[in-house]
Amino acid sequence: MQSAFSLSFSQSSLTPPNRPLCSSNAAPRNLRFCGLRREAFGFSPSKQLTSCRFQIKSRRIEVSAAASGNGAPSNKSFDYDLVIIGAGVGGHGAALHAVEKGLKTAIIEGDVVGGTCVNRGCVPSKALLAVSGRMRELQNEHHMKSFGLQVSAAGYDRQGVADHASNLATKIRNNLTNSMKALGVDILTGFGSVLGPQKVKYGKDNVITAKDIIIATGSVPFVPKGIEVDGKTVITSDHALKLESVPDWIAIVGSGYIGLEFSDVYTALGSEVTFIEALDQLMPGFDPEISKLAQRVLINPRKIDYHTGVFASKITPAKDGRPVMIELIDAKTKEHKDTLEVDTALIATGRAPFTNGLGLENINVATQRGFIPVDERMRVIDGNGKLVPHLYCIGDANGKLMLAHAASAQGISVVEQVTGRDHVLNHLSIPAACFTHPEISMVGLTEPQAREKAEKEGFKVSIAKTSFKANTKALAENEGEGLAKMIYRPDNGEILGVHIFGLHAADLIHEASNAIALGTRIQDIKLAVHAHPTLSEVVDELFKAAKVESPASTTPQSVKAAV
């Protein structure tokens, strides 16, 4: 059952273009859902499937053999087939895929392997959020009593919590480094820059050549003008992840992903939080309905207040016994509105691309608000609007979607292209998540975005919703607070966006994101089977709740007969 599904989607990654893995009758190309008996594809378990498995195994041996040596480049005119500037998650993903494809690969890192995500972002923040989740549960006497449990007062050791985050970052950083070394990727130390076409400098005066170059230099915290960061009382996420203190009162400037997650951590550890948001509502980047519910659960019951529609025009660090001073002005009129005095201010106003000093002037490339301009294939565009041959940019540095897994996906897409297989990444299929308690996740368009698109293109939009309160597993966990929402086209079953707020929402979103990536229609995926009782049934019920006007399936009749 599972083997048939995995074979049908692994062909492109295991074989070169136009080279079939096994018989063309092995699996329908437009298969859109799993849970199918492999007999539906005409497999004979004793013959054809065994043959396919053998070919997969043989191909993996070939890949492993090519990777372990990272030998001579395919074109002897260059030192490497591929050089990647930046060893964050994006660069790492591209490097591993390149070696799998048989490319002699080098990666340049001027700081530490893992980049922002591993060292100063997603990884250590998840460690802190794991602590905040457990603290919330232990501190919720009503919740514990509902299980028949009695727990004494919960406490924490600040340094122990900080060490947990630091140790996790170190472990993941070592894992990434070792994985590249094991596959033969050359890790070059020093700041990298582009000297000219297919030529890179790193360190003091080391110069190498490569057939193709990927820029993957990531981003740094964005600090608006007028804000003085001292790293102690006025901090960015880089400083906050070290958890050198837990202030009694902290102001968080910005209520996006970063601000929300840190509010979850600080309130669980006992701090009072004040949000400062320039727009008229909190969580402006989320679907409005999800934002409204999330505010009711994540903001209102907690020790959090907020100011919306205001800028922090000036923030002065604490000094000589004085607290942190925050001057607030109206976002529209710029008139003074208030002055706050707090213990600490966390600047969570987003991130800025790290693209200075990359030698872009050597190839006539001008950044746009710091971002390197690229086309849909991540190819760099110069100042005249022309493509720079053999030069690509992925991740935060190009600004298309500032998420670690998006950077990795872009890197893999680039490697596919340089090895002869055209590939364009669908960014609307890339999920995002906010790891609060409960979590928020999303993929595709919000409802306002979908309705705007529908108006322009002339189609209707429908909404389907399901509640966690109807899910057995959520109720067993006493975590029934939550909502799943899908925006779709009722005329053809196309999924436009899915948004989830609730227990393990970050894990649940991937069925929807994969459906969007594969072009799966609702009328097909609603036939998939989900284990009971599981949280995945929240998404299952979401698909089943949708009403499609033309339920014609894209699934072959032979496959339907086997369901």
> What are the backbone angles phi and psi of residue 254, rounded to the nearest 5°?
110, 130
Residue 540 pLDDT greater than 60, yes or no: yes
| Helical H segments across 19-109, by residue range | 48-69, 89-100
CA dihedral 111, 113, 115, 121 (to 10 degrees): -120
Q: Please state the residue numbers annotated as binding site.
A: 126, 192, 217-219, 254-261, 277, 350, 396, 402-405
> At 151, is the pLDDT very low, low, confident or very high (cuts 50, 70, 90)?
confident
Q: Please state the residue numbers annotated as binding site for FAD.
A: 126, 192, 217-219, 396, 402-405
pLDDT at res. 551: 59
Q: Please identify which residue in the block is written with the tokens 């601000």.
A: 259
pLDDT at res. 286: 96
Is the distance from CB of 311 to CB of 329 less than 8 angstroms?
yes
> At 75, is the pLDDT very low, low, confident or very high (cuts 50, 70, 90)?
confident
Alpha-carbon distances of 350 from 258, 492, 555, rounded to whole Å:
8, 37, 43
Please enumerate in sequence order all residues whose Cβ is within 8 A of that of 459, keeping only pairs 6 or more positions apart, or say none: 489, 491
Please enumerate in sequence order all residues whose Cβ is within 8 A of that of 341, keeping only pairs 6 or more positions apart, or say none: 323, 324, 325, 326
> Could you confirm whether 504 is annotated as catalytic?
no
Average pLDDT, integer, range 554-562:
42
pLDDT at res. 140: 87
Give the pairing of strands 324-330 and 336-342.
Answer: antiparallel
- Count the Cβ atoms, other than its own, within 10 Å of residue 19: 9
Residue 325 pLDDT greater than 80, yes or no: yes
pLDDT at res. 39: 30
Q: Which of 164, 437, 504, 532 is catalytic?
A: 532
Cα 343 from Cα 210, distance rounded (Å): 51
> At 57, is the pLDDT very low, low, confident or very high (cuts 50, 70, 90)?
very low
Spell out the domains of the chain, with CATH numbers in brackets. Answer: 80-221+352-419 (3.50.50.60), 234-349 (3.50.50.60), 431-545 (3.30.390.30)
For the chain, what percentages of helix, strand and coil (3-state, to nearest 5) are there? 35, 25, 40
Residue 197 pLDDT greater than 90, yes or no: yes
> At 238, is the pLDDT very low, low, confident or very high (cuts 50, 70, 90)?
very high
pTM: predicted TM-score of the whole model, two decimal places: 0.84
Residues 264-322: tens digit of each pLDDT: 999 999 999 999 999 999 999 999 999 999 999 999 999 999 999 999 999 999 999 99
- Count the Cβ atoms, other than its own, within 10 Å of residue 457: 8
Q: Please state the residue numbers annotated as binding site for NAD(+).
A: 254-261, 277, 350
Q: What is the CA radius of gyration of the chain?
A: 25
> At 127, is the pLDDT very low, low, confident or very high (cuts 50, 70, 90)?
very high
How far is CA 205 from its chain centroid?
35
Residue of 263, 248, 254, 246 lying closest to 307 (CA atoms)? 254
Q: Which one-letter amino acid corresponds to residue 434? A: C
Please enumerate in sequence order all residues whose Cβ is within 8 A of that of 336, keeping only pairs 6 or more positions apart, or say none: 327, 328, 329
Mean pLDDT, the chain, rounded, equals: 87
Residues 387-396: tens digit of each pLDDT: 999 999 999 9
- Burial level of 333, CB count in 10 A (0-12/13-18/19+)? exposed
> At 58, is the pLDDT very low, low, confident or very high (cuts 50, 70, 90)?
very low
Is the distance from CB of 82 to CB of 392 less than 8 angstroms?
no
Is the distance from CB of 187 to CB of 173 less than 8 angstroms?
no
pLDDT at res. 73: 75
